[in-house]
A = this chain, B = another copy of it.
Amino acid sequence: MKQIKGGVTAAKGFEAAGTAAAIKYQNRDDMALIYSKTPCVTAGVFTSNVVKAAPVLWDKEVVTKGDPVHAVVINAGIANACTGKPGFDICRQESETAAKALSIPDSSVLVASTGVIGMQLPMDRVAIGIEKLATLKNDSLENGTTAAKAIMTTDTIHKEAAVTFEVDGKTVTIGGMSKGSGMIHPNMCTMLCFVTTDLAISKELLQKALSENVVDTFNMISVDGDTSTNDTLMLLANGEAGNTPITAEDENYEKFKEALNFVNTTIAKMMAGDGEGATALFETKVIHAKTKEDARILSKSVICSSLTKAAIFGHDANWGRILCALGYSGVEFDPEKIELFLESKAGKIAIYKDGMATDYSEEEATKILSEPAVTALVDMKMGDAEATAWGCDLTYDYVKINADYRS
């Protein structure tokens, strides 16, 4: 497996484009297209929120039906959530408009939206945007990046990752892009994320690999504890790598899972580190837990703690808050037995042991916490399971961004 440059256009046969449709933002791209001439098998995971945005309902129908997919149309600015039947009709119109512009079947277009909840999409401007995207699309890495930038809302960096690996002597590529900065607390998947691959694989195994992988990637990040109405993760496979299609959980399937995990982990961490207003990626790794599920719950509890996140922002080694967050996670353990370390590029120190603070240096701790990526390492001393969760610090800018998001 080798990491390469690029995103959704890295894999063979995938094209992309971004354009400005003035849906809500002015003077920037706000619509994107992913296109594959070759039909794709598609896997998806969607928000667990009872309040599902119209595009989520549309895509679930398309993915469940299982017809081949050729295109995804995405917009930023308006989420098309809490928009009732009119909102769902817009999805149908988007799909029909794209199908006509791209000369592909009606049922082969997925749609996705992100932005303010409750507003209706202006279909006239969306239609013009789709026409433009259809003419602009190509398979360059640059166009992949343009698409990744067009779907940003409060994101400060665009998010892409890609890898190649070998199957039967054929080079297979997986590439993805995502947006996500606020309302991030995925509970089936995450904000908008699109992963493309030229691997030939059955729809069943594609979905299985994706569903299993999100548990340890996108479901392990949180920015603010809010599970969005629009969370969508799509994986499109067009088979252009030319490998013998994967139809069993064999060695090639394992290779694919490993590569997918790399792309998804990379993108998930980028989202956590680019959390709204964040100045630091905050990782919590729990080792020697009794069960994998315990390790997940414990690590996620720490990165979700508002108090811990604020302390990270202040570069303050207020480790009591980490202990506190482990303690209310719901997992049973003996606080006298566990050990806590803080770690970053600047070093690693043991900070808590035998039920009390160690004799650590506050100065050294602050130095460690002043890096742009910091880790709390928790040794539960109970078993062999481990898990990692990723979040960010809680800052003035998070409040600023969300106190007047709509204005």
Give the residue name and chain of the B residue nearest to A185 (CB): B328
A226:B51 contact, CB within 8 angstroms: no
B226:A313 contact, CB within 8 angstroms: no
Give the residue name and chain of the B residue nearest to A354 (CB): B84
Chain B residues with CB under 8 A of A105: none
Q: Does A90 contact B (CB under 8 A)?
A: no
Bitwise, A349-367 to B at CB < 8 A (1) or not (0) is: 0001011110000000000
B405:A394 contact, CB within 8 angstroms: no
Stretch at the interface among A34-42, A128-136, A242-250, A302-310: A302-310
Chain B min CB distance to A349 (Å): 14
Q: Does A66 contact B (CB under 8 A)?
A: no
Q: Does A117 contact B (CB under 8 A)?
A: yes
A117:B316 contact, CB within 8 angstroms: no
A399:B398 contact, CB within 8 angstroms: yes
A403:B328 contact, CB within 8 angstroms: no
- Interface residues of A, count at CB 8 A: 70
Give the residue name and chain of the B residue nearest to A340 (CB): B82
Give the residue name and chain of the B residue nearest to A116 (CB): B320
A373-407 contacts to B, CB under 8 A, are 394-396, 398-407
Chain B residues with CB under 8 A of A307: 182-183, 224, 226, 402
The quantity of this chain's copies bound in the complex is 2
A226:B306 contact, CB within 8 angstroms: yes
Stretch at the interface among A144-152, A160-168, A206-214, A330-338: A330-338
B304:A225 contact, CB within 8 angstroms: yes
Bitwise, A73-107 to B at CB < 8 A (1) or not (0) is: 00000010111111100000000000000000000
B229:A49 contact, CB within 8 angstroms: no
Chain B min CB distance to A353 (Å): 10
A120 and B407 alpha carbons, distance in the complex (Å): 48
Chain B min CB distance to A216 (Å): 20
Q: Does A48 contact B (CB under 8 A)?
A: yes
Q: Does A347 contact B (CB under 8 A)?
A: no
Q: Does A318 contact B (CB under 8 A)?
A: yes
Q: Does A69 contact B (CB under 8 A)?
A: no
Q: A50-B328, A117-B321 are in contact. Are A402 and B225 (CB under 8 A)?
A: no
- Which of B48, B84, B331, B396 is the one whose CB lies under 8 Å from A400? B396
For A86, A226, A329, which residue has the most chain B Cβ atoms within 10 angstroms?
A: A226
A355:B83 contact, CB within 8 angstroms: yes
**Chain A residues close to B by CB (< 8 Å):** 48-52, 79, 81-87, 116-119, 182-183, 185, 187, 224-229, 304-307, 310-311, 313-314, 316, 318-321, 323-329, 331-333, 335-336, 352, 354-357, 394-396, 398-407
Q: A82-B356, A395-B399 are in contact. List 7 more A-B contacts (CB 8 A).
A: A50-B327, A83-B356, A118-B319, A225-B225, A229-B320, A310-B398, A316-B403
Q: What are 24 A-B interface contacts by the 8 Å CB criterion?
A: A49-B327, A50-B327, A50-B328, A51-B323, A51-B328, A87-B356, A116-B318, A117-B320, A118-B356, A182-B307, A225-B225, A226-B306, A226-B321, A227-B327, A307-B402, A310-B398, A310-B399, A311-B403, A313-B403, A318-B405, A394-B402, A395-B399, A396-B400, A399-B399
